[in-house]
Amino acid sequence: MDDDEAPELIDATALPSDSPSVFDSAPHRVPITLITGYLGAGKTTLLNYILREKHGKRVAVIMNGASTSPTALWTSANITHLRIWRLANTHSNFFSPFVAADIEKSLTVNQNGQEVTEWLDVGNGCICCSVKDSGVMAIESLMDRRGSFDYILLETTGLADPGNIAPLFWMDDGLGSSIYLDGIVTLVDAKNILRLLDEPAPEEHAHESHPGPALTIAHLQISHADVVILNKSDLVTAAELEHARQRISSINGAAKIHTTDHGRTPQIEGVVLDLHAYDHLSHLDLQAKGHTHIDPNISTIAITHPAIAASSIARIDAWLRSVLWDSYLPPGDCSSLASADFEIHRLKGILALNDGSFRIIQAVRDVFEIRDAENSRGDMNSADGPDHCKVVLIGRRLGASVTPWQRSLESFLHSDKNRQ
């Protein structure tokens, strides 16, 4: 921009509400939803969902700098409430491979016929011992600068492994971040999904060198999903659609699946946004159907256990560390796992304690936490909470049977009692 005419000054107060001062003790937290799925799987549908349902809300959409231009996509949307940024090359672990910091990326957005250039400020701050990923910090500083948004959508479509990205946004409460991970929404094209799962192109393989059926990016996107939007159902037969649903459900028995048909969408209040998938549990989460093994790679299993004493929580923690960090299932009293090579993608659980209180377990890959169950929204109170513990696991090579897992947890808890 090298003109000799001074441009018009901009009134900062005309921008959305003042950003919270850095001196505030409790920053307003904005939910961020990771949108994943293959290109062409239906971003526009999803955006229309959100904008129609959340009319009047301010939605920020952040796209990987490497993805295709979005200008054609947004023209039908109510884009005065939409701000779109490209995230510039950063030292971030989830966007492009490491390149020198460069804040030159920009994006032109059609806004009611006017072209508006929106920048995403990416600092060159120290990455060396920062707790937060620099891409995450860039998004936070965006929120600080541009005022409060109601929702942030982060597009990670294409060939990204959501299991590497989710932990970056699932930050410790103590960090006081202005954003929090609400959940992962995966877009699935009903017409193509079975081919993507079974006959992937070389670049669609997940990076790994295990023998056996290929693990694809599509598998990872479904296994990590909290919500799956099954698009283009009108382009397939009823049987094909059911086939796709079952396959998805077999991979991830905990995700909610929403089918779209001719662009019509069901009531989606609270089912695509406001998921709280990482800090709450609902009954639906725990009604996961497990034990079907349609997919050769990924399955869902559910373990139950009677209510436990509070003193057993440390033992549960140790069991989770073994399973999630060491990929080692402590042997149960009789059965052992056929394959010792499993990999957990997502884990949710509820611990019912003898004193009537609850803890919830959340995990994605090797990051997990056990936290107090909040009783807001009436999710978990002793009246309608379960009277037993339940743990739902989604992952790879979990084995044909839930028994080794069930036995493992039981023995592990029991052996602690014997020791005392």
Partner 1 sequence: MAMVPANRRCSGLDCENEAGSLQCPTCLKMGTDSFFCSQDCFKRSWNSHKAVHKAKSNFLTNLFPPNVVSEPDPVTGHYNPFPKYSFTGPLRPVYPLSPRRTVPASIPHPDYAIDGIPRSEQKFVGRHKITILDAKEQEAMRKVCRLAREVLDAAAREVKPGTTTDYIDEVVHRACLERDSYPSPLNYVNFPKSVCTSINETICHGIPDQRPLVDGDIINIDVTLFHEGFHGDINETYYVGDKARANPEAVRVVETARECLDNAISLVKPEMLFREPGSVIEKHAKSRNCSVVKSYCGHGVNQLFHTLPNIPHYGRNKAVGTAKPGMCFTIEPMINLGTHRDITWPDDWTSVTTDGSLSAQFEHTLLVTEDGVEVLTARLPDSPGGPVPMPMVNGEKSDEDNQSAQH
x/- mask, partner 1, residues 354-393, rule CB under 8 A, reads -----------xxxxx------------------------
For residue 138, which amino acid is it? A
Subset of 177-206 contacting partner 1 (CB under 8 A): none
- Yes or no: say if 247 and 289 are a contact pair by the CB < 8 Å rule: no
**Closer Cβ to partner 1, 17 or 130, answer by number:** 130
- Number of other CB atoms surrounding residue 299 within 10 Å: 25
Say if residue 25 is exposed, middle or buried (CB neighbours under 10 Å; 0-12, 13-18, 19+).
exposed
Subset of 280-339 contacting partner 1 (CB under 8 A): 321, 325
- Yes or no: say if 280 and 360 are a contact pair by the CB < 8 Å rule: yes
Find the shortest distance in angstroms from Cβ 228 to partner 1: 24
Report the residue from 7, 56, 211, 378 that binds partner 1 according to the rule CB under 8 A. Answer: 7
Residue in 106, 52, 104 with CA at minimum distance from that of residue 82: 52
> Residue 238, interface with partner 1 (CB under 8 A)?
no
Size, binding site for partner 1 by CB under 8 A: 57
Report the residue from 145, 195, 289, 377 that binds partner 1 according to the rule CB under 8 A. Answer: 145
Beta bridge partners of 184: 34
Say if residue 292 is exposed, middle or buried (CB neighbours under 10 Å; 0-12, 13-18, 19+).
middle
**Closer Cβ to partner 1, 152 or 244, answer by number:** 152
**Closer Cβ to partner 1, 135 or 385, answer by number:** 135
Find the shortest distance in angstroms from Cβ 370 to partner 1: 10
Stretch that binds partner 1, among 51-59, 168-176, 307-315, 386-394 (CB under 8 A): 168-176
Helix axes 313-320 and 403-419, enclosed angle (nearest 10) = 130
Under DSSP, the state recorded for 224 is T
Residue owning tokens 């192109």? 201
Subset of 64-93 contacting partner 1 (CB under 8 A): 91, 93
Report the residue from 67, 96, 119, 198 that binds partner 1 according to the rule CB under 8 A. Answer: 119
> Residue 209, interface with partner 1 (CB under 8 A)?
no
Say if residue 222 is exposed, middle or buried (CB neighbours under 10 Å; 0-12, 13-18, 19+).
buried
- Yes or no: say if 258 and 266 are a contact pair by the CB < 8 Å rule: yes
> Residue 174, interface with partner 1 (CB under 8 A)?
yes
Find the shortest distance in angstroms from Cβ 317 to partner 1: 9
> Residue 279, interface with partner 1 (CB under 8 A)?
no
> Residue 208, interface with partner 1 (CB under 8 A)?
no
**Closer Cβ to partner 1, 106 or 246, answer by number:** 106
> How many alpha carbons lie under 13 Å from residue 14 in its C-beta half-sphere?
3
Helix axes 134-146 and 162-169, enclosed angle (nearest 10) = 50
> Residue 340, interface with partner 1 (CB under 8 A)?
no
Find the shortest distance in angstroms from Cβ 10 to partner 1: 5
Contacts within 8 Å (CB) and 24+ apart, 171-175? 171/132, 171/136, 175/131, 175/132
Find the shortest distance in angstroms from Cβ 64 to partner 1: 16
Classified as helix, coil or strand, 198 is helix
Find the shortest distance in angstroms from Cβ 194 to partner 1: 29
Classified as helix, coil or strand, 250 is helix
Sign of CA dihedral 104, 110, 112, 115: positive
**Closer Cβ to partner 1, 102 or 333, answer by number:** 102
x/- mask, partner 1, residues 92-111, rule CB under 8 A, reads -x---xxxxxxxx-x-----
Report the residue from 8, 203, 384, 387 that binds partner 1 according to the rule CB under 8 A. Answer: 8
**Closer Cβ to partner 1, 127 or 353, answer by number:** 127
Tokens of 375: 């009783």
Q: How far is it, in rounded angstroms, from Cα 128 to Cα 19?
A: 28
Find the shortest distance in angstroms from Cβ 148 to partner 1: 13
Q: Which residues bind partner 1 (CB under 8 A)?
A: 1-2, 4-13, 19, 22-23, 91, 93, 97-104, 106, 117, 119, 121-132, 141, 144-145, 164, 170, 172-176, 321, 325, 365-369
